[in-house]
Structure 1
């Protein structure tokens, strides 16, 4: 089936929905939508999506108890693996990890990648205030780099109070993506693991727009340089979920490296009318930089996930 590869698509299996409800957790104040494999496939067929790479969204699987988080991560990854087994061309999956249980996260990453053959892992932008450049992540980065794993970074609620009437996915998520991306680069994760391939959600927040400002991080982080910070920031991949707008695309296409922009739908969290409007902008866009990214819908993702090549 010739169609888009959607690297930003979520699942909400019933056991995970139950765990959320029992814990009182929400997706940063955003309403929890309904989901089923059939609904996902129907959306994909309607939107011209051949393959959806599934992931658990915020708030992840850790609700305060390490053992429960490990069990929930394991059950969810097993569920995803079965979906892929049943429809290998239609679904892929990023394994969820029980962060901030770092030992449990390393063990589950190894299991999911080596035994379940996950297409990568999803990391939230912060885990109880620990951002991706924090030293506690280093054993995890080491295992991921050793396996040449693709890492999908999804935003989480930052450790700050929400503003009234502005749920975190609406406002704070782009900020937190930007924050963790710079934290990762400034603290040398790419320097230690240059082969890492990391996708940032939602066009990287406002990273493309403010990247040149962020090179100032070299003033405060010994061993870095402005050029090194910029080179690190340009190693990221970016998805278009909720971000393919007439104002965001010129900035993204001016900044991203060729082949580093991938399609994302944010199903089922994005309302249908939002998704279709952003898809319309993406399809029609012929502004600055468009000629550099003819591969957003499919070829860029095929380079990261060779098994999806037709």
Structure 2
């Protein structure tokens, strides 16, 4: 699902029939951002901040309005580490607690029931923050393909390769998804391709990174 559809977010009135059906089937709901329901700010590409804010805006009412609690058999996945959710979770929890009278710790626990993918987000600051916040088993690999160029996905996948220990990397790359989608555990593991020479691979990564940054920030050399 899109985080918002022309300004309508996932908590809008009239969606209960949808949530009931998804809950009955134990569905997995993947929420991906769209453009904010407002004009983009000049010189701030939506990729840089707006998409992350859109995802955060989708998560907030799911917790604020009790959708996660009323429909506990739906597993929600938020792309791009959930936008700003891991970083702003306590701030949002305090706000929701003040509005609803709930405990901030209970609100935080609701946010932590969400699953998060690593698409375009496995950087040296974002990844440790996500792992510190998310429940064990709730972080999944993401590349943002086909929305982002392959070079962009590879650039951030390299951050995952070098940023976590082998056990965590294996869990994010496969075993966490197998627990969420048990049928995947029965699928044969593909034979890994022969690794390219280190110097060639590193050169390709550098070229991909430069190409990616030229796409999202014109004028970057």
- TM-score normalised according to structure 2 size: 0.78
1:286 aligns with 2:159: no
Partner of 1:296: 172
Q: Distance in 1 between matches of 2:103 and 2:83?
A: 23
> More strand per residue: 1 or 2?
1
Shift of residue 268 of structure 1?
2.4
- Deviation per CA, 1:97-126, whole angstroms, max 9, x where unpaired? xxxxxxxxxxxxxxxxxxxxxxxxxx1111
Equivalences for residues 104-253 of structure 1 within 5 A? 123-216=1-94, 217-221=96-100, 224-253=102-131
Write the deviation string for residues 132-187 of structure 1: whole angstroms up to 9, x where unpaired.
12232221111100111100001111212201233323321100101110111110
Q: Secondary structure at the match of 2:171?
A: coil
CA distance in 2 between counterparts of 1:248 and 1:304 reads: 23
Q: How many residues in Structure 1 have an aligned counterpart in Structure 2?
A: 185
The within-5 A match list for 1:237-276 is: 237-276=115-154
Partner of 2:182: 306
Once the two structures are TM-superposed, the CA of residue 286 in structure 1 deviates from its matched residue by 3.3
In structure 2, the partner of 1:44 is none
Runs of 4+ displaced beyond 4 Å? 290-294
Alpha-carbon separation, structure 1, partners of 2:15 and 2:43 = 33
Equivalent-residue separation in structure 1 for 2:173 and 2:25 (angstroms)? 26
Which structure is higher in RCO with an 8 Å CA cutoff and minimum separation 6? Answer: 1
User: Once the two structures are superposed, what CA deviation does each residue of 1:282-308 show, in whole Å capped at 9, x if it has no partner?
Assistant: 011138xx8656400011111111121
RMSD: 1.7
TM-score, structure 1 normalization: 0.56
